[in-house]
Amino acid sequence: MAMINLADRRIVVTGGAGFLGRQVVNQLCAAGAQRDKITVPRSRDCDLRQLEACQTLVQDQDIIVHLAAHVGGIGLNQEKPGELFYDNLMMGAQLIHAAHSAGVQKFVCVGTVCAYPKFTPVPFKEDDLWNGYPEETNAPYGVAKKALLVQLQAYRQQYGFDGIYLLPVNLYGPEDNFDPRSSHVIPALIRKVHEAQQRGDRQFPVWGDGSPTREFLYSTDAAQGIVLATQSYSDPEPVNLGSGAEISIRDLVVLIADLMEFEADIVWQTDKPNGQPRRCLDTHRATAAFGFEAQVDFRTGLRQTIDWYRQHAV
């Protein structure tokens, strides 16, 4: 397909005021979009779980980039699985339906690596997405988001609706969510180390046994991938967005402690859940389809994230 010219397009970015969303808005503008034609709905004014709110939002719009999600780490997934399933399914399903009904030109749905089966050959390939059930602690969230892929493919088949589905790996970067009740592993660890330093702790407890592996993608890289796909990807198959670098939680904790100059004994709380055993994506499809490759070195990105948090920590 020809690359979409963003210059005169009216674009909605749900979740556009969030950690990733702000970067996506900036990169849309860098790619030619006009900021005054980008709409960023706020949840307090626009409840995407209500069909009427979705219908109002998509009216006269050309492109929808759906980033909004009710999401968090293992703790939140264990505490609120019903909310996470319902909120994410309803937001996405109704927004897709409203966009199709309103004649929106393009729908970009950002899914989650949590959609992959618990046991999947590493690195994860998009074709393996349906070969098993997701890891139990985040399955309700993962299944709800994966259902949106089915909806987009069905709407493409029946209505010719141009909806694409992207699967970013765990994100990190400045302005991330550092709330201990809902943050993911990198911001959670940075905050825990910072607070332990402030108290002068000599022991540092961490959930699990440190054996699981994760892959992380810097927020500006993720935003670039989303914008490239928005402009020039138009196929039904889902596409991974990742960095290709896999690290164990044990090594991650040691690296963050090292970068933050924190010396303490790490205590692994093996009675706590590990989450998915390994998580790393095959990113060949993204490179072949729209030229995406991550640019930010992991150590550099971590250092920038730590610096931002230290400047903004209360």
**Active site amino acids:** 141
- Cα distance between residue 259 and residue 230, in whole Å: 35
Q: Where do the DSSP E strands lie in 77-228?
A: 106-110, 163-168, 170-172, 203-207, 213-218
Contact between 9 and 64 under an 8 Å Cβ cutoff? The reply is no
Annotated binding-site residue numbers for substrate: 192, 207, 214
Annotated binding-site residue numbers for NADP(+): 15-21, 145, 168-171, 184
- Cα distance between residue 205 and residue 217, in whole Å: 25
- What is the β-pairing status of strands 265-269 and 63-66? unpaired
Phi and psi (nearest 5°) for 43? -60, -30
Degrees to nearest 5, angle at CA 135 with 131 and 137: 155
Decide: helix, strand or coil at residue 245: coil
Helices (H) and strands (E) in the chain, counts: 10, 11
Annotated binding-site residue numbers: 15-21, 145, 168-171, 184, 192, 207, 214
